[in-house]
Amino acid sequence: MATVRPRTSVVEAASPTDQAVDPPEAMLKRLAQCLAEALRVDTSTERKGMEEAIDDLLIRLDEYACLVDMVRSDNQFCLHKALPNIISQAKEMDNIYRKVDALEAFMDQAKGQLDALEHQLTIAESASGTGKSIRDVLKPLFFKSTPTPAKKTLPQTPSYEAPQIFHASEFFHKSVESPAPDSTKTT
């Protein structure tokens, strides 16, 4: 039977002095044991670190899968519920846009006719020689003023032509589809 020796290095196990004492099988066995111990590595710390990294990656993968599911459900909500609501609201807004356009056309028409009326008033005031504007007429009502002597001669008044006045019914209908103001109508 082989004698048990204390641990020896690979070099000592293969020395020529041992060959004479031990049979080759025992020597091979010792050599294998020495090599096995030399190659033995403690991987518990690396394995623990790898397991923690894998667990962390699995948790993150699970979070990512949940996030993808949430995005899919949000897409389904947007495509099947929110988008049809937006489209129906847009159709309702088109009606409001038409009403606003009709109101703008009405305001433009009224402004144009008011400007024409003010122009005619200015012409009439200058033709009559009074030189009074609406402000001058309203001034005595709000401010005390000194009386001015009245003129004794009255000029001849020119004939008056009524300006074309808009009709609100031309712009506002029960169903506003296309405002087509007809400015040829007079009152």
On whether the pTM is more than 0.85, the answer is no
Domain definitions of the chain by residue range: 1-36, 51-140
pLDDT, tens digit (0-9, with 9 covering 90-100), for 84-95: 999 999 988 998
The letter for the amino acid at 78 is C
**Tokens representing residue 61 in the block:** 């993968």
Tokens of 92: 């309702």
Residue 97: pLDDT above 80?
A: yes
Q: Could you report the per-residue pLDDT of 75-84, keeping only the tens digit for each?
A: 888 888 888 9
The least confident of 1-15, 23-37, 43-57 is: 1-15
Residue 184 has pLDDT above 70, yes or no: no
